[in-house]
Amino acid sequence: MEINLFDLEKLIDRSLREDIGTGDLTTNSIVAPDATTYGYIMAKEGGVVAGLQIAEMIFCRFDPAFEFKALVRDGDRVRPGSILAEIAGRARAILAGERLALNFLQHMSGIATRTAGLVSLVEGSPARIVDTRKTTPGLRAIEKYAVKAGGGYNHRFGLYDGVLIKDNHIKVAGGIGPAVKSARLGSPHTVRIEVEVEDLAGVREALSAGADIIMLDNMAPEEMQEAVKLIAGRVLVEASGGISEGNIRAAAAAGVDLISVGALTHSVKSLDICLDLHMVKTVRN
């Protein structure tokens, strides 16, 4: 997985502490420390999988010798009933880690699945589906990873690695021109300047101010087409605002380079995935 491992380990730490706290009362009372068992993780509905490595890391926290045999890979499309992984190890590890592992898998696969659906809708056009900063606090890295697993692309990670001049910035700066000029001066030369505009006048202003990317905010398809014609390939064009399954084809048809979709991460329907035990074998170590 391409997520920074340091941050991933910390995220898992935090999540485990949140769920397990001073210990799993039920499992610790009922299951002997050295009992082992095995089972599988299965998709109960169809979709695109993401998060298998996190699931594996969680079980291995409880049992370093845990066996997690993934049968699919992140980004794979699976059908209802598909086995995603076979697992074997300490029964305590499985029972204590199950919920958290599924919470991650279901959330990330939900994002990947919806992304893949949107990507397939614009197939054939050059437009890329990209995410936004409307992510769940604390989960941005894994949510952006899930977008890529679904065939999408990532926008800037946060406020520190890209410049996006929005409506409110323009108000404060007193216009697109001064805003772009200040941003160029104040940010590294390695970063592009993107400007959000709401109409064709804005497009013209952004072009003459020297923007590198123009974001068309909440424009109707016809207006987008005109904007794209006006820009004529000189800078990248991003469609944004209220994009969903219903209107994404029109946005792509308008000729934009990028379509950003906040709902990919702000309104996630988790993919239904379960964990079942085959049977139990208890081995004394």
Residues 56-85 that bind a second copy (CB under 8 A): none
Nearer to a second copy, 59 or 104 (CB): 104
DSSP-derived letter for residue 241 is S
Of 73-81, 225-233, 248-256, 262-270, the segment contacting a second copy by CB under 8 A is 262-270
Of the pair 48, 91, the CB lying nearest a second copy is at 91
Residues 87-126, interacting with a second copy (CB under 8 A): 91, 94-96, 98-100, 102-104, 106-107, 110
Which one among 31, 52, 87, 112 touches a second copy, defined by CB under 8 A?
31
- Quote the least distance from Cβ 174 to a second copy, whole Å: 8
**Min separation Cβ 14 and a second copy, Å:** 6
User: 19 is written with which tokens?
Assistant: 């769920």
Which amino acid appears at position 56 of this protein?
A: E
Nearest to 155 by CA among 260, 4, 267: 260
Instruction: Provide Rg for the chain, Cα atoms.
Output: 23
Is 134 one of the annotated active-site residues of the chain?
yes
In the bound state with a second copy, the residue whose beta carbon lies nearer, of 120 and 136, is: 136
Q: Tell me how far the alpha carbon of residue 171 is from its chain's centroid.
A: 31
- Tell me the β-bridge partners of 259: 129, 239
Question: For residue 142, what are the contacts with CB-CB under 8 A and spacing of at least 6?
Answer: 3, 8, 11, 51, 54, 104, 108
Work out whether 249 is an interface residue with a second copy (CB under 8 A). Answer: no
CB of 27 to a second copy, least distance (A): 7
**Tokens 């409110």 belong to residue:** 168
Residues 120-139 that bind a second copy (CB under 8 A): 128, 130, 133-139
Q: Choosing from 134, 156, 184, 249, which is the catalytic residue?
A: 134
Nearer to a second copy, 77 or 184 (CB): 184
Cα–Cα distance, 217 to 64 (Å, whole number): 49
Residue 99 catalytic? yes
DSSP state of 63: -
| In contact, 150 and 278? CB cutoff 8 Å | no
Q: Is 63 assigned a catalytic role?
A: no
Residue from 79, 232, 246, 279 touching a second copy (CB under 8 A): that is 279
Q: Of 4, 208, 218, 244, which one interacts with a second copy (CB under 8 A)?
A: 4
Judge whether 167 counts as a catalytic residue. no
196: annotated active-site residue? yes
Quote the tokens at residue 54. Answer: 């996190």
State the DSSP code for 269.
P
Alpha-carbon distance 70 to 67, whole Å? 10
Binding a second copy (rule: CB under 8 A), the pick from 257, 259, 261, 264 is 257
Residue tagged 């379509």 (tokens): 259
Q: Which residues are catalytic?
A: 99, 134, 166, 196, 217
